[in-house]
Amino acid sequence: MIRAFRTEDMDAVLAIWLQASIKAHDFVDASFWRGQVENMRNMYIPASECYVFERDGEVAGFYALYENFLPAIFVSPEHQRRGIGKVLLDDAKSKRREITLSVYKENPDSVGFYLSQGFEVVSEQEDEHTGHPELTMQWSSN
């Protein structure tokens, strides 16, 4: 079930974000992600429109929208490869006519997932925080 984020979801969402970020981005030192937890807690999550995927009372994934940008969509590692990411992304698409996101080029699983869901690469640049190449991808309901 997808529902709106509640304040009491914060610790679960942050744990999912951290675990999934470290797993998906093994080319970036894990200390970088650990150093971003408080920014996620105090800035990024509160500034975004967030939704969680809950199964059996447990938060298994989430996404965040900031205007038409999707800064975060993550599924806990133990719940990955079960279709939750697609359900979350479909829900985000139902709320916008256009979505833009950034994804590390060195994360082929995520790049492939977004391509399979109708996103197109619109640019490539270097991530200012890590120096790794990232792709900007866009989806439109048209």
- pLDDT band of residue 141 (cuts 50, 70, 90) is very high
Q: Which residues of 128-142 are buried (b: 16+ CB within 10 A; e: fewer)?
A: eeeeeebbbbbbeee
8 Å CB contact between 135 and 103? yes
Over residues 42-75, the pLDDT tens digits come to 999 999 999 999 998 999 999 999 999 999 999 9
Q: Is the pTM higher than 0.75?
A: yes
Q: Sketch out the chain's domains with CATH numbers.
A: 2-140 (3.40.630.30)
